[in-house]
Amino acid sequence: MNTDKNQLPAGKTLVLGLQHMFAMFGATVTVPLITGLDIGTTLLMAGLGTLLFHLITGGKVPAFLGSSFAFLGGYAAITSLAGTEGFEEMTKAQLLPYACLGVACAGLVYLVLAGLIKAFGIKKVMRCFPPIVTGPIIIAIGLGLAPVAVGSCKANWTLALTALAVIGICNIWGKGMIRIIPILIGLVVSYALACCLGAVDFTAVKSAAWIGLPIHKANTILGVDFAKGGLISSAIIAIVPIALATIMEHIGDISAISSTVGKDFIKDPGLHRTLTGDGLATTFASIFGGPANTTYGENTGVLALSRVFNPVVIRVAAVFAILLSFCPKFAAVISTIPGPIVGGISFVLYGMISAVGIRNLVENKVDFSKSRNLIIAAVILVTALGGVTLPIGSTGAALTPLALASLAGIVLNAIFPAGDYAAHAKEDEPPKGNTFEV
């Protein structure tokens, strides 16, 4: 089924949007659960951030922006100061706005790179990201998330395999709408089974209010005491470098979406626009106490499964997220979904991301008989999946394995003699199946 044109009936569009909303929900709310940020604020900023991204990119890219895991170390570096010398009277909750300020500044780094691309042209920048670099990065993004999915499944393989099996059956043998909403069906069926098995705890649902405001002044940047210059500087120094990792992830995600949809979004609407949208969404979310936003791999997996690439569906999902951010009771209901079910769904989606990376390499005919390509791919994958990090001074923060892997790939690609791709690519014609122009 197609596609990116506005030809879907309203009913199907709503259901597909709901599926995308559920696909991002589990991972999106995990970040506030870990950091202490508010779930309602997180949902609101994910929805608004997605709409802002679509506005800036001309509504062309079917991307959903959810909570970024890359900044977890940055939040931890700042909140871990609670109770230490100089911060004896500050709690983790009081330190969170300072971390958010650092993340807001990190979002502005995107704008700097976007400006450079606009000024010097995308071709010069994208020469650093040929398929031999972006392909393994996309593969690493999916495989790096795989342990999370498997870890969630281990708690109850019955529920996980039920979700996985229903998704597979619906997507392969289903007809019509059944084939394009396999995740939603898998979620409903496995959740019903969980209820029958007594694996769902509704305690939190009973105590939650129906309506509530998702933004709280104390959690926003208004909660920052700007007289504490040292703390502000520490937050910025610790967190801003993490933008290097998320920018690489962004390029990988946009490449993955481009490969999935079959359109060159790095060329049109342009990487400078997608970076601007992602960066502004991150800064905007952080100002109001939400986590950093990032283009979501889970929703790319949904695109690959459903084969429906209409950006309007993503915007419907964003509206759902905004509306539901004002309903704490709904958030409580969603939080009752057992982890193994989310794990079973993620089992498919994360694998799809890696499969897109493999497709990127295959369609661009990357020659692995050449040592340069083997070494570049090997270094990227081992660095990203081996957990190699680079501490940033004494802040407690560090460049993530994916950021280091991306840097290693870029440097090795520049140092090693040019491969077939670089030697034969035409300036006015991107290689077949490529996700960007060089």
Inter-residue contact 23 to 50 (CB < 8 Å): no
* pLDDT-derived band at 46, boundaries 50, 70, 90: very high
The percent of residues above 90 in pLDDT, for the chain, comes to 28
Residue 287 pLDDT: 95
Predicted confidence (pLDDT) at residue 135 exceeds the cutoff of 50: yes
Q: How many CB atoms within 10 Å of residue 376?
A: 26
Predicted confidence (pLDDT) at residue 436 exceeds the cutoff of 60: no
- Higher-confidence residue: 246 or 106? 106
Report the distance separating Cα 240 and Cα 435, nearest Å.
28
Handedness of CA 430, 431, 432, 437 (dihedral sign): negative
* pLDDT-derived band at 2, boundaries 50, 70, 90: very low
Predicted confidence (pLDDT) at residue 180 exceeds the cutoff of 80: no
pLDDT tens, residue by residue, 338-383: 889 888 888 887 787 788 788 878 888 888 989 999 999 999 999 9
Residue 432 pLDDT: 39
Residue 190 pLDDT: 93
Q: How many CB atoms within 10 Å of residue 246?
A: 29
Kindly report the average pLDDT of the chain as a whole number: 83
Predicted confidence (pLDDT) at residue 255 exceeds the cutoff of 80: yes
Q: Distances in Å between the alpha carbon of 36 and those of 169, 291, 382, 397, 416?
A: 38, 10, 32, 18, 45
- Higher-confidence residue: 61 or 69? 61
- Higher-confidence residue: 159 or 76? 159
Q: If you average pLDDT over residues 387-396, what whole number do you get?
A: 66
Most confident of 20-34, 151-165, 223-237, 275-289: 275-289
Most confident of 155-159, 208-212, 332-336, 424-428: 155-159
Residue 398 pLDDT: 58
Indicate the range of 16-20, 92-96, 210-214, 242-246 predicted with least confidence.
242-246
Inter-residue contact 390 to 435 (CB < 8 Å): no
Indicate the range of 152-161, 198-207, 304-313, 351-360 predicted with least confidence.
351-360
Predicted confidence (pLDDT) at residue 7 exceeds the cutoff of 80: no
Report the distance separating Cα 91 and Cα 84, nearest Å.
10
Predicted confidence (pLDDT) at residue 431 exceeds the cutoff of 70: no
The percent of residues above 70 in pLDDT, for the chain, comes to 90
Q: What is the full DSSP assignment across 221-233?
A: GGG--TT-HHHHH
Q: If you average pLDDT over residues 7-14, what whole number do you get?
A: 81
- Higher-confidence residue: 418 or 376? 376
Is the pTM higher than 0.85? no
Q: If you average pLDDT over residues 83-101, what whole number do you get?
A: 86
* Of 195, 187, 194, 149, nearest in space to 170 by CA: 187
* pLDDT-derived band at 425, boundaries 50, 70, 90: very low
Q: If you average pLDDT over residues 415-421, what whole number do you get?
A: 69
* Of 266, 295, 263, 296, nearest in space to 279 by CA: 295
Q: If you average pLDDT over residues 135-163, what whole number do you get?
A: 87
**H or E segment to which residue 67 belongs:** strand 65-67
